[in-house]
């Protein structure tokens, strides 16, 4: 078991593939990891599978009291990884203003509100905020509401980085491309091979690929990178294809 370095890292959406991988990597790095998600059973299972200093806290981060309780539970908070979010593709013709509002409420506003509480806790000694955006913010079909919410996360990241730099709070974003998550569970081998072929590196990304970057950005040793968006997509954002 890895010993805690005395600093706490919160990971939201920690029951899912990327959240679980990020939590495991930060625990390996020596953080005490406070994992949070709405799905208590999946969250408990995820936490039980991680070696290191971890605990979990079930919370609906759309609720103000839950956000406050989560931050209060974190002791010496140094890092916040905003990984929680929703995704439900639909063509623009089928979208409504309500669809946009729900996406923003969860993917952008809840992230902002939690970050605001975290930065108040970090203000005395500095810290790291890592926002999980998406490569979709560059543009992608059938996800206009999702892409817009993640584009807002990118803009928010840059604004926060500028305002929080004097307090030594570094704020960065990760924009994953196609990552092995339950969304791909029903895809056939042929469909998956075609999807992988669109990525210049020739494979679908793994949760650990995102976790490795989150580890770097959350580290106390990374102290001169802020306001950046790191796209983790196997080179797809600079390659060809149509996905």
CATH architecture of 8-235: 3-Layer(aba) Sandwich (3.40)
Q: Is 198 a catalytic residue?
A: no
Dist CA 135 CA 154 (whole Å): 10
Q: Tell me: pLDDT of 242 over 50.
A: no
Q: What is the pLDDT of residues 61-92, one digit of tens each?
A: 999 999 999 999 998 899 999 999 999 999 99
Question: What radius of gyration do the chain's Cα atoms show?
Answer: 17
* DSSP 8-class letter at 4: P
Work out the angle at residue 211's Cα, subtended by the Cα atoms of residues 138 and 169, and round it to the nearest 5 degrees.
Answer: 80
The alpha carbon torsion through 161, 165, 168, 171 (nearest 10 deg) reads: 0
* DSSP 8-class letter at 6: S
Set 56, 104, 146, 198: catalytic member: 146
The burial class, CB within 10 Å (0-12 / 13-18 / 19+), for 228 is middle
pTM for the full model?
0.94
Tokens of 80: 């916040």
Q: What is the pLDDT of residues 137-156, one digit of tens each?
A: 999 999 999 999 999 999 99
| Domain locations along the chain | 8-235
Indicate the pLDDT class of residue 239, thresholds 50, 70 and 90. confident
């Amino acid at each position: 078991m890895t010993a805690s370095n005395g600093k706490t890292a919160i990971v939201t959406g920690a029951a899912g593939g990327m959240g679980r991988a990020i939590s495991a990597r930060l625990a390996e790095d020596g953080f005490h990891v406070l994992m949070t998600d709405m799905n208590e059973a999946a969250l408990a299972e995820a936490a039980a599978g991680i070696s290191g200093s971890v605990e979990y806290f079930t919370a609906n981060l759309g609720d103000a009291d839950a956000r406050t309780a989560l931050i209060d539970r974190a002791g010496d908070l140094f890092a916040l990884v905003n990984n929680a979010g929703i995704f439900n593709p639909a063509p623009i013709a089928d979208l409504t203003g309500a669809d946009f509002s729900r996406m923003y409420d969860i993917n952008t506003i809840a992230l902002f509100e939690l970050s605001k509480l975290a930065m108040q806790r970090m203000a005395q000694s500095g810290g790291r905020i890592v926002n999980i955006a998406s490569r979709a913010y560059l543009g992608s079909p059938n996800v206009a509401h999702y892409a817009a919410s993640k584009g807002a996360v990118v803009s928010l990241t840059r604004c926060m980085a500028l305002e929080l730099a004097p307090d030594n709070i570094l704020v960065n974003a990760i924009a994953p491309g196609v990552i092995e998550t339950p969304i791909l569970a029903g895809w056939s081998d042929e469909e998956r091979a075609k999807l992988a072929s669109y990525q210049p590196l020739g494979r679908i990304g793994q949760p650990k690929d995102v976790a490795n970057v989150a580890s770097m950005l959350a580290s106390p040793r990374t102290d001169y990178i802020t306001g950046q968006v790191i796209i983790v997509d196997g080179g797809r954002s600079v390659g060809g294809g149509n996905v």
